Amino acid sequence: MTTTSFKFLIFFPIVVMAYYVIPKRFRQIWLLVVSYYFYMSWDAKYGLVLLAVTAVTWLGAIMLEWIDGRITEERRRDHLKKLCVGALGLAVFGALFCCKYIVLVVGISFYTLQSFGYIMDVYRGKAMAERNFLRYALFLSFFPTVVSGPIERSTTLLCQLRCEERTNFRLENIKQGLCMILWGYFLKLVLAERIEFFVNAVYSQSLGGVYAILATMLYAVQIYCDFAGYSTLAMGAGRTLGFALTENFDAPYLASTVSEFWRRWHRSLTGWFRDYIYIPLGGNRKGRVRKYMNIMIVFMISGIWHGDGWKYLIWGGLNGFYQVAGEVLSPVRKKIVRALRLDKMGKVYKVMQVMVTFVLVDFAWLFFRADSTGRALRMARAMITEFKLSVLWDGSLYTLGIKQAEFIFLLLAVALLVAVDWLHYHRRYVLDLMKDWHWTVRTCLYAGLLMSVVIFGVFGVNYDEGTFIYFAF
């Protein structure tokens, strides 16, 4: 069962209705039961792996807290090193295990990171070890996040689980949650799935020129809508049940620099890498060279985490390189800006920055999407050598999975996405803005959004429900 499957449309309302009907003290147990059911619907044995990870990390955290204060700082560092080595060993073991059960990667990657983050927080004294096993088990297995995140922290979701008030019925939570779910479906089913037709057609044939440029640009939108769609769905499901999950995306394509992009893209994972890899490695506290090395290490690890091919390593490396190069070349950039008398606070400069950032990030996506590094390089070369603008109007563009009218529709939908993200970027949230609108307008918008998902969404009996891009990581 995935969140875009028909089963989920039956499963979720039942979960929510039962959740608010049963007495408060049973609500979290109910969530735990349905979360395991949701996760085990892939395969029952996955539940056992999740349970084992839960038991080990729950006990580990309690033990860590118990020995805290009884040992010196020096021994504590020693323990930390052992912990890191142990985690690495666990990861290698996990990876070997996953070769056999590839689907397991889905869960292991996200909830393993979450449990590791929890242990580190307890070790650092940022969080208290959770004594209630069931509550901790729910923290790791909470069905909206268990498959593809967001990777929650002990300071966020676990704290909310400790607060019983959260489980109170609030109509506002239901309304906002359902609205988020609808927007998530719009991003995933209307945009990501439709764009996929074109992107797949171009990449499967390794086409060059305008085709490759357009497909790579659209792939940037596709992967964003795919993952942001899933995350918004998860947030909506969480909100409906009274929990505020971490916002994973914050208008990333409106970022002015690549480092800003990474502060806005998959924030829960980037934050995890920052807190548990970049900072322990020394962060920016040990000189420039170490900082640049640390950035490269973090992004290379991020690349490896996404997949085992060279293409992912290159993708991660490119993103790290952009940031290092950006810092190294900062004085040169400043000189150019001064020489050209550009207004750094002006809109033109800002738009240029956003466009350059998008091009850089998108070029890295080319490696991420292509079947292999060789193909990606061939397509990159063919973007220039086979460049023909005429394909934009000779009709050949519309023979690759989507027709002309569909293209126009997609452009309109992307424009809507940009508008929503632009508001988001300026900290003006659509849901908050809508509160001031007349109820008839709001109701029309809700109904319109629902019907646009129903009419324009790509789903149904021939639709592969398990095709979230981030399920593979």
Using CB under 8 A, list all residues that contact other proteins: 6, 10, 403, 405-406, 409, 439-440, 443-444, 446-448, 450-451, 454-456, 460-461
The encoded tokens of residue 324 equal 């290092």
- Residue 251 contacts residue 424 (beta carbons within 8 Å): yes
The encoded tokens of residue 79 equal 């323990």
Q: From 372, 383, 405, 357, select the one nearest 216 (Cα to Cα).
A: 383
Minimum Å distance from CB 405 to other proteins? 4
Q: Exposure of 473 by Cβ count < 10 A (0-12 exposed, 13-18 middle, 19+ buried)?
A: middle
- Residue 293 contacts residue 461 (beta carbons within 8 Å): no
- The 10 Å CB-count burial string (b at 16+, else e) for 246-259 is bebbbbbbbbbbbb
Angle, CA of 76, 305 and 289, to the nearest 5°: 65
Q: Which is nearer to other proteins, 384 or 451 (CB)?
A: 451
Q: Which is nearer to other proteins, 27 or 188 (CB)?
A: 188
Q: Which is nearer to other proteins, 250 or 465 (CB)?
A: 465
Minimum Å distance from CB 403 to other proteins? 5
Minimum Å distance from CB 463 to other proteins? 10
Q: Which is nearer to other proteins, 14 or 451 (CB)?
A: 451
The span from the CA of 212 to the CA of 384, in Å, is 10
Minimum Å distance from CB 401 to other proteins? 12
Minimum Å distance from CB 409 to other proteins? 7
Reported residue count of the chain is 473
Minimum Å distance from CB 439 to other proteins? 6
Minimum Å distance from CB 178 to other proteins? 11
Minimum Å distance from CB 461 to other proteins? 5
Q: Which is nearer to other proteins, 171 or 348 (CB)?
A: 171
Whether omega for the bond prior to residue 144 falls within 30 degrees of 0, making it cis, is: no
Q: Which is nearer to other proteins, 5 or 256 (CB)?
A: 5
Q: Where are the alpha helices (DSSP H) in 340-403?
A: 347-369, 373-385
Which residues, including other chains, have CB under 8 Å from residue 84's CB and lie 6 or more apart? 280
- Residue 235 contacts residue 302 (beta carbons within 8 Å): no
Minimum Å distance from CB 98 to other proteins? 30
The span from the CA of 183 to the CA of 188, in Å, is 9
Q: Which is nearer to other proteins, 177 or 238 (CB)?
A: 177
Minimum Å distance from CB 147 to other proteins? 20
3-state helix, strand, coil in the chain (%, to 5): 75, 0, 25
The span from the CA of 109 to the CA of 34, in Å, is 21
The span from the CA of 236 to the CA of 289, in Å, is 42
Q: Which is nearer to other proteins, 42 or 446 (CB)?
A: 446
Q: Which is nearer to other proteins, 72 or 462 (CB)?
A: 462
Q: Which is nearer to other proteins, 305 or 446 (CB)?
A: 446
The span from the CA of 133 to the CA of 145, in Å, is 18
Torsion, Cα 328 331 334 336, to 10 degrees, reads -90
